[in-house]
Structure 1
Amino acid sequence: MTPAAESRPARPVATSGTRPPRAVADLPAAQRRTLIVLVTAQILSGAGLAAGVTVGSLLAQELLSSTSLAGLPSALGTAGSVLAAAIVARISQSRGRRPGLATGYLLGALGSVGVIAGAAADSPALFFTGLFVYGAGTSTNLQARYAGADLASPAHRARAVSTVLVATTVGGVAGPLLAAPTGDLSAGLGIPYLAGPFLLSGAAYAIAALVLAVWLRPDPLLLARTVDLGPDEPSARPEQRRTGVTVGTLIMVITQLVMVAIMTMTPVHLQHHGHGTAASGVVIAIHLAAMYLPSPLTGWLVDRYNPVAIAVASGLTLLAAGVVAASASDVAPLAVALALLGLGWNLGLVSGTAIVAGATRAATRASTQGLVDVCIAIAGAFGGLASGVVVAEAGYPLLAVGGGVLALTVVPVVVLAARLDCRQHRRREECGP
């Protein structure tokens, strides 16, 4: 595609005797409005997401008096995100992004209420049920990145994804830093101190749902189905699309599993070395900033260079994070390790998302992307559940090193995919279409 072709606005699909809607005629304006609304919702949801991450494992350890089950909150929340990802994708596929994302955030708010009620009543059953529903906020926060790419041109797809992701940084950093103040507020209300951040989560998710329900108009996915965003989508062969979806999914699954496993047990590791909730909040805030803040640069790199190279960089960065974390017990080196962990996850998520988005058609995009995120959520659930067991049996250093080594499997996956694509390209040149 020539540079001139890339800069042309999307073309309305030709229909007999009809005029395209005004939003279709001004697609760039619709994309700008979509990104503004999504960014606003992501700032709010980032706070809701981060608050639970900071204290979930500590609250479970307090309720159950067991370190081996400290990874259960992350596992349950991520397991809940599996179901939520399917629900949000199904609603988005049939009715659009607006009702799908709003429903997901409402479920996240409801789950926050359940967590608070369970902690206040000292009821593990209610607490864990609430965590399961709370996971909907996590999966919805991730699925919002696809909405940012719905109306983006192929040449700017990764940057659109990164714009949505980076907005999570503001709330993601504020959430953990508010862990202590919300804990004090919670204690003043007669609720356990560690349940305080979930007060913030519930309010943040509810407001994010309201923002999307009222202002995400026109719906980006429904609008994308009425326009042709460029010749690369219809010209892609079925086998290329399948390979792209598979490779992009594997990249994101591996990075999610490693990130969740190490992140989940870091607050517990800090506590075992005499550090309090405030220290955990700082480390997690740095981690979440590294997960989302580099997104604009990552998006530019993916658009400018091959996403395969960025995916390889993801695996190497996660390995470095695991090595640093394995040898750390103080706040500063663990903050560095968690920053590398967040950066590696970001590189994998943006590159993998761009690959998947480029390999899906608008007509079936939401359902395919929902299935991809279900796989990601399952990987995260496994990582969260296994992390507590590994730390209880073998220690945090082994978990960190093992996660880093596992992340290296990204490299052979993307290299093999690149070689297969190259062979298919040569075959087409030799044999014709």
Structure 2
Amino acid sequence: MATELRTGVDARPVGAAPLDVRRVQRRTLLLLCLTQVIGGTGMTIGMTVGVLLGARLGGTAVSGLVQSASVVGGALLALPVSRIMRTGGRRSGLAVAYLAGALGGVLIVVAAMLEWVPLLFVGAVFFGGGTTAGLQARYAAVDLAEPTRRGRHLSIAVWATTIGAVTAPNLAAPADRALAWTGVPVLAGPFVFSVLAFVLAAGVLLVFLRPDPLLTARRLAAAGANGAAATGTPVDGAGTTATAADGVPGGGVPSSGAPGGGVPGSGVSGAGAPGSGAPASGAPGKGARAGRDEGLRGALRVVRDLPAARLGISAVAMGHLVMVGVMVMTPVRLGEWHSDAHLLRVVGLVLSLHIAGMFALAPVVGWLTDRVGRRAVILGGLGLLLVACAVAGTAGHDTVRISIGLTLLGLGWSGTMVAGSTLLSESVPVEVRPSVQGLSDLTMGLAGALAGALSGFVIQVAGYPVLNLLAAVAVVPLLALALRTALPRVRADG
């Protein structure tokens, strides 16, 4: 059946009512921001007391393992959630992730009532589903975004997390007191509110996230492929019309399957340096060769074959590793010269500045990602990480300098996260996108868990300055990869 391609609208059979893709994207962003606030509040309010609950039930040694279990759980759950998205779309995958987090919250409350530590760990693993949903939401914001706005739209979803991250810690104590009359143990009450928040977020997505952005992007990609085949136009690996990138015919970057997406005739560079002369990551024959999603194995093959995808996934993982490794041990460092009476206040202030660096300026980072390019922002993020390690590592007992270092650390993480995630999403065919994104979140989560586990050992053996030095050294290979990887330009040819 013949298809008709329209700028900014869905490709549907001639005579059918067109779907306004830009309107769907605006609606999708609004819903994602709403659920990011709800789910982020639920996740943070539980994490605020999770370590304390673990210490109460199993001692100090157990408290850190509870947090690690949640981090690992969030990473591992990315795989089944991405598998669900492959067939059911973003709506069902995000909802399942939030419901897994709700199940974890219920198990944690039961574990607190029974004072059963093994059940607490199981609950913490499932509770990580809230993190999985929050991370995967940023990819849903890119599915239908115009090529020249992908970074901004992804960053908006990241930024929405700020509201929950900032307000939730202050809600933990009132939430605990509010349920004291029900017999819920001390420090378990916040998890009840986490469960309610996760269920609410899942319900909002299931009811209102229609049409599904990923499934719509796939329909657009298929329609673009059919239309291109009818006219003899080359098509890239995503099924979208290929355009010239840096002088290489047919090397266009996949545009989320949005025909005519972007600003017609703008020629804005989004992913790489002009004139690199490199084939685009969406070139035919690379990645998912048959247009099939083969799960984790296929995702690994895609990342192996596409240089831009390798850089994107590496930037996200390494930025997270450096950030977590330094951040988790900063309270320990502050405790070396602050008394117990002032330590929590100081730690709260320093970490608040750090979180602000991570999320508050995400829209600015997204704008820069679209304006100056993915590689440039990744390099800027890596530079900020290096400066942050230098400032924090040489701060001594200067709380102000450590605060500056942690703020820069958050900004560096934001650069690698936003630009790396944007580059990864647009570099792979739409058919395999969920699996590759799940692999990215798995890698990121495991990198963070490894950094958190090793940082305590480094602090004990060598101290906080050496920890920062090692974190800076870890950035160097990624810096070399970013400089040598040739990336195409994202064009909006109309």
TM-score interval for Structure 1 and Structure 2 normalised by the shorter chain: 0.7 to 0.9
Match of 2:37 among 36, 43, 46: 43
* 1:383 paired to 2:442: no
SS where residue 415 of structure 2 aligns? Answer: helix
- Superposed, 1:209-248 pairs within 5 Å as 209-227=202-220, 228=224, 231=242, 232-233=252-253, 236-237=282-283, 238-239=285-286, 242-248=306-312
SS where residue 25 of structure 1 aligns? Answer: coil
* 1:285 paired to 2:352: yes
* 1:343 paired to 2:407: no
The 1:202/1:35 distance shift into structure 2, 3 A limit, reads: same
Q: Percent identity?
A: 38
TM-score for the superposition, normalised by structure 2: 0.75
SS where residue 306 of structure 2 aligns? Answer: helix
Q: Deviations over 1:311-330 (max 9, x none)?
A: 11112212233334443667
Whichever of the two has the greater Rg, that structure is 2
> Given residue 25 of structure 1, which amino acid in structure 2 is its aligned partner?
L
SS where residue 36 of structure 2 aligns? Answer: helix
Any unmatched runs of 5+ in structure 2? Answer: 1-5, 225-239, 243-251, 255-279, 288-304, 490-494
Residue 146 of structure 1, CA deviation: 0.7
Give 2:21's aligned residue.
27
Match of 1:265 among 329, 334, 346: 329
> Given residue 285 of structure 1, which amino acid in structure 2 is its aligned partner?
S
> Given residue 153 of structure 1, which amino acid in structure 2 is its aligned partner?
E
Q: Distance in 2 between matches of 1:363 and 1:95?
A: 12
Give 2:129's aligned residue.
136
Q: Distance in 2 between matches of 1:89 and 1:404?
A: 32
Residue 9 of structure 1, CA deviation: 2.7
Residue 187 of structure 1, CA deviation: 6.1
Q: Distance in 1 between matches of 2:208 and 2:478?
A: 38
Contact kept in structure 1, 2:9 and 2:20, CA below 8 Å = no
Q: Distance in 1 between matches of 2:423 and 2:117?
A: 41
Residue 405 of structure 1, CA deviation: 3.3
Give 1:9's aligned residue.
7
Give 1:89's aligned residue.
82
Contact kept in structure 2, 1:54 and 1:281, CA below 8 Å = no
- Superposed, 1:145-294 pairs within 5 Å as 145-185=138-178, 193-227=186-220, 228=224, 231=242, 232-233=252-253, 236-237=282-283, 238-239=285-286, 242-270=306-334, 273=338, 274=340, 275=342, 277=344, 279-294=346-361
TM-score for the superposition, normalised by structure 1: 0.84
SS where residue 172 of structure 1 aligns? Answer: helix
* 1:295 paired to 2:362: yes
Q: Distance in 1 between matches of 2:199 and 2:140?
A: 19
Q: Distance in 2 between matches of 1:381 and 1:393?
A: 19
Give 2:105's aligned residue.
112
Contact kept in structure 2, 1:312 and 1:410, CA below 8 Å = no
The 1:223/1:243 distance shift into structure 2, 3 A limit, reads: same
The 1:43/1:348 distance shift into structure 2, 3 A limit, reads: same
Residue 297 of structure 1, CA deviation: 0.6
> Given residue 286 of structure 1, which amino acid in structure 2 is its aligned partner?
L
Contact kept in structure 1, 2:9 and 2:22, CA below 8 Å = no
Match of 2:94 among 89, 101, 107: 101
Q: Deviations over 1:134-189 (max 9, x none)?
A: 11111210110111000011111111101111111111111123344345446666
SS where residue 292 of structure 1 aligns? Answer: helix
The 1:308/1:120 distance shift into structure 2, 3 A limit, reads: same
Give 2:375's aligned residue.
308
Contact kept in structure 1, 2:318 and 2:478, CA below 8 Å = yes
Q: Distance in 2 between matches of 1:387 and 1:146?
A: 29
Q: Distance in 2 between matches of 1:338 and 1:21?
A: 54
* 1:399 paired to 2:467: yes
Number of equivalences: 409
Residue 82 of structure 1, CA deviation: 2.2
Any unmatched runs of 5+ in structure 1? Answer: 1-7, 426-433
Residue 37 of structure 1, CA deviation: 0.5
SS where residue 218 of structure 1 aligns? Answer: coil
Residue 79 of structure 1, CA deviation: 1.2
Aligned CA RMSD, in angstroms, stands at 2.9
Bigger relative CO (Cα 8 Å, ≥ 6 apart) = 1
